[in-house]
Amino acid sequence: MFQGLVVAERNAGDRGKFIDIFTDRNTVQEVYVRGAKKMSSAGTSTTQQFSYARFSVNRRQERLYLDSAEPVRLFYRLRESLSRLSLAMYFAELIRLSVREYQNPGEQCEALRLMLNTLHFLENGERDEAMLKPLFELRLMTELGMMPDLLACRSCGEFLPERLCFSVEEGCFYCASCRKSQMKNSILLRAPALQAMRHMVFAEYDRLFHFHLGANHLAAVSMCTERFVQYHLGLRIKALDFYYHIQAASPTSSQKGESHEPTSSDAGIS
């Protein structure tokens, strides 16, 4: 028995399917669902992508089989928007391809909490997609032990330069004075963008989704986090390309580049 989020599902023959569950034990488990296509509507929804549930499974040889599932939250409203759904699929693929079980039982990883909270705000439209994408990318890298060094200029130690250059490869930044002219795979930023990235990395979860950043700065941060993920995880996820395609075709989508004021519903999922 464990609790987790279905991050992927694949058909298996005429009757069954495999689901990948991101568990509360920081693992991604592949589980076979027998008779998935003959289940009732309730049973089907509990084993579909973005279902957060309690799963009872049994192991036969090297494979896990689903016995039962009790829904906790289904995140069904993500399907009301193709843009939100495609972004959620990108997040799910990042999780599925990057999360590994921690060898040290005492080591904490809150990637599941991050995913659930992000889906909460994405589903309800309480935070802009343009904000959620870089926040999820950078915080996930932090949870996976690949946090960038955002404390000070790597060369001179300046804490908050007005202009700086973020090195994707080195995972750090240099102020304008120390910037290396030959630096490759680097992105120019200003102080507000750096402060936002620090918030994404260091903020407690009850404040993580509460910050403001202008559209131009947010676009630069999103470029940083996206390239940082792709370089250090070695991943190029097709769902992200599809998300950008949807955005290009939907100029009225909610890409405002700044967050909403905190409200009473901002608690998300603990």
Please write the tens of the pLDDT for every residue from 217-265.
999 999 999 999 999 999 889 999 999 999 998 765 444 444 333 333 3
* CATH architecture assignment, domain 78-249: Up-down Bundle (1.20)
Which amino acid is present at 108?
A: Q
Give tens-digit pLDDT for 158-196. 999 999 999 999 999 999 999 876 577 889 999 999 999
Instruction: Tell me what the pLDDT averaged over the chain comes to.
Output: 87
Q: Check residues 35 and 110 and name the one with the higher pLDDT.
A: 110
Pick the CATH number of 2-73 from 3.50.50.60, 3.30.56.10, 2.30.29.30, 2.40.50.140: 2.40.50.140
Query: Same topology for domains 2-73 and 78-249, yes or no?
Result: no
Domain boundaries, the chain: 2-73, 78-249
Q: Could you tell me the CA-to-CA distances from 30 to 4, 133, 201 in Å, in that order?
A: 12, 26, 30
Predicted TM-score (pTM) of the model is 0.89
Task: Assign 101 a pLDDT band (cuts: 50, 70, 90).
Answer: low
